[in-house]
Amino acid sequence: MLDAKLLRAQPERAEAAFRNRNMETALEPFLALDEQRRRLLVQAEEIKSFRNSASQEVGRLKKAGEDAEALMEQVRAAGPRLKELEDELKNVEQEIDNIMYYLPNLPHDSVPVGPDDGANVEMRRWGVPRSFDFEPQAHWDIGPRLDILDFERAGKLSGARFTVYKGWGARLERAVVNFFLDQHTQNHGYKEIFPPFMVTGECMMGTGQLPKFADDMFKLEGKDMYLVPTAEVPLTNMHRGEILEGSGLPLYLTAYTACFRAEAGASGRDTRGVIRQHQFNKVEMVKITAAETSYDELEKLTADAEAVLQALKLPYRVVLLSTGDMGFSSAKTYDIEVWMPSYNDYKEISSCSNCEDFQARRANIRYRPDAKAKPRFVHTLNGSGVAVGRTVAAILENYQQADGSVMVPEALRPYMNGLERITV
């Protein structure tokens, strides 16, 4: 959620930022409601002040033996009027929230302006895509041939956009999860968390999935509970409503979860293989920081995600997203895209974002720089560390051999019981 003071003071700047995010938003309704809210607050405070001073005067009059009935009647009459104002104020604040919850974050000044991914800026590349001396196959062909991915039986169980992992495929998926968690906890300083895979609607509001993206989520029938779309949601909301000690920041958290997404707006995109699924595994990284350090922490977060791909020797590139391609809650995002021979292109495998205080305002997460300081909103950051299914797909395609087998990356062999090659 944005700072209402900023919208009030700089509406032209905010509206320009919204246009850069492909969102035409006129702030007049917000500004009118905000003015009404402040007027109601003043009126309510005036009545409360009158009641306090009048009550004291009533006490003085009675003590002096004077008639206080007229003043007491005024005090009694003030009660219903105050209730009316408070009810009106509650309704106005609800209307303001209904506007604010749908406004995206404002892009950082360093974000390139553009309508879509065509305006994204490539920052760097690592590794060189492999040149094959045979016709490389796609992972959706490699997996079934090796009997480690089964899309047909997954469809029988759950429908489209699901996968059954079998044998060494299941072991490879588990190996990648454990490898990523070990890298982030042992080498990058994160605390491992194993959160619930279901969260309340309040949690989804806190990180920005609700109310705007309700159609993309899986909701439990009859309950205010959702399957997590990413571990970002439970990790960030662990500290919802808390005031943290500044000396304890930054917090580095990492978690494995299954992730569940309806992919309501993804019809026809990446329909084959494991690139875009309703259920997939991911290791997530979340940072909770002070405002002053959050952009340094974004660079470190991105480097942490890059490090696991480097350890697996998978070529990738880092792209700075444009204003028109960023996520709703983000102020700045780097995408890491891994090389996929089947596409002859790079595909997203991690997205690393600084949300500044956008999520913290929604979830009311604050910190005190020191014991006597007024609480301030933290900055929250999140990044895939990285998407597990897409990593398995990248391994199958980049490590495939002419005889149809797939070499296991050296970094994963200790997690695969020493296995060097997956064969039929």
Residues annotated catalytic, as ranges: 261, 276, 348, 351, 390
259 in Cβ contact with 198 (< 8 Å): no
Cβ partners under 8 Å of residue 55, min gap 6: 75
34 in Cβ contact with 11 (< 8 Å): no
317 in Cβ contact with 311 (< 8 Å): no
Extract the tokens encoding 374. Answer: 């007024």
d(CA 92, CA 119): 39
d(CA 104, CA 400): 42
Helical packing angle, 294-311 and 168-186, nearest 10°:
140
375 in Cβ contact with 367 (< 8 Å): yes
d(CA 402, CA 279): 31
CA distances from 263 to 116, 180, 215, 378 (A): 19, 25, 8, 30
Extract the tokens encoding 98. Answer: 């209904």
